[in-house]
Amino acid sequence: MKRYYTPVKITVLIILAAITFSCKEKSEPKEKAVLIPYNGSLPIQNLKLPDGFKIDVYAEGIDGARSMAMGDDGTLFVGTRNEKTVYALQDTDGDYRADMVKILDSTLEVPNGIAFKDGALYVAEVGRLLRYPDIEENLDKLQEPEVVYDDYPTEFHHGWKYIAFGPDGKLYVPVGAPCNICDSTGVDERFTTITRMDPDGSNREIYARGVRNTVGFSWHPETGELWFTDNGRDMMGDDVPPCELNRVEEAGQHFGYPFCHGGTIADPEFGDQRPCSDFVSPVQALGAHVAPLAVKFYRGNNFPEVYKQYAFIAEHGSWNRSSKVGYKISLVKLDGNTAIGYETFIDGWLNEATQEVFGRPVDIMFLNDGSMFISDDYGDAIYRVWYDSAVVVE
């Protein structure tokens, strides 16, 4: 499968190599901001959106773009998984297109998870969490980060982390299963959990259990409850088990892994140990192998009002199914806490007929103006989606 390598991407890769080779200390000035011209090389005309919605590229050439966090001064921070890099993107002229890109660090260990709080950028590696204070004041001269913790499991299998601060001010950090299917809690009780802690790493506790691999969660804007996606296990066939959208009502709940999948499917290896009735069922069973990542709720004023009844989910897409599924932004329509619909919002990154792919959605962010950002670690881009009622045909 052919990837899209733009001149911009090649330029960014050269910069990354130069920074790594130079072995500079973090306290020395980093690479200066890079002016990124827009190439328009991604075939976004193939993307299908509901009537009235538009999509454009906010930034391209952002190799491996995954988790996003917004600074107080409008700097978009972007983490990666295999690229070892954290970026800072700026739109200096307000045209909704990033024109300055800074590489903050290119030596990190799977820095997928990032979060922003009180002027500081938090970056989660596999086994430790770093904190960069006053980050937007030090973009050109990044200071040595503070180590918040360095004692989490170091297994790479499902070791990349998605992190976010909850409405309680605590930082939530998941620890995935170090396998496809296994009961790993006897090795370390933090496996297959979502943990939470104070911003300084103190008062850590397990918040939810039986979570195979969540790479996206957020809090319902009305109830304050944590909702998260979970990736279903592999090697049970093309169509089972489903991936999941879950809701945590109270701390300590167990969501089934490795004993039960999708609320009803006993695992062939571990299902005889505990019945599915012991666990919390998902709010919505998602497609098998769609690899759901981000889940976000809309409360802005740009999209039509009906979209405040949906949970938006980034489906990263399957990797080992006989025919690909996912590669889209989906919607779960809600009536309170009950799912009453599951449908597509944006697709076209996957050509189902040819099975060719040009993008894989990862994270979702809503901006103050009500528009949406989507990160893409395959097309190496950040997209912006907005609603324009003027283009709706009655």
Please say whether the beta carbons of 214 and 176 come within 8 A: yes
pLDDT number for residue 391? 66
Side-chain-side CA neighbours of residue 375 (13 Å): 27
Take residue 142 and report the two structure tokens written for it: 């990044």
102 Ramachandran zone, left/alpha/beta (phi>0; psi -120 to 50): beta
Domain boundaries, the chain: 7-391
Asked whether 117 and 69 are in contact (CB, 8 A), the reply is: no
The predicted-structure confidence for 281-331, as pLDDT tens digits, reads as follows: 999 999 999 999 999 999 999 999 999 999 999 999 999 999 999 999 999
What backbone phi and psi angles, to 5 degrees, belong to 306?
-60, -25
pLDDT for residue 28: 40
- List beta partners, residue 205: 196
Identify the three-state secondary structure at position 303. coil
- Tell me how far apart the alpha carbons of residues 27 and 30 are, in angstroms, rounded to a whole number: 8
| Cα(341)–Cα(361) distance, integer angstroms | 21
Q: Please give the share of the chain, as a percent, with pLDDT higher than 70.
A: 89
**Does 21 have pLDDT greater than 70?**
no
pLDDT digits (tens, 9 = 90+) for 148-181: 999 999 999 999 999 999 999 999 999 999 999 9
- In this structure, of 26-40, 239-253, 322-336, the range with the lowest mean pLDDT score is 26-40
Q: Model-level pTM?
A: 0.91
pLDDT-derived band at 40 (thresholds 50, 70, 90) equals confident
State how far the Cα of 367 lies from the Cα of 371, in Å rounded to an integer.
Answer: 5
Reading the block at residue 70, the tokens are: 């917004």
Q: Retrieve residue 214's tokens.
A: 């969540």
Cα 147 to Cα 130: distance, rounded to the nearest angstrom: 5
Mean pLDDT of the chain: 91
Contact 261, 308 (CB under 8 A): no
If DSSP states are collapsed to H, E and C, what string results for 225-247? CEEEEECCCCCCCCCCCCCEEEE
Q: Which phi and psi angles does 353 have, rounded to 5°?
A: -70, -45
**Class in CATH terms, 7-391:** mainly beta
Tally of CB atoms within 10 A around 222: 10
What torsion, rounded to 10 degrees, do the Cα atoms 383, 385, 390, 393 define? 100
DSSP SS3 for 163: coil
User: 221 preceded by cis ω (within 30°)?
Assistant: no
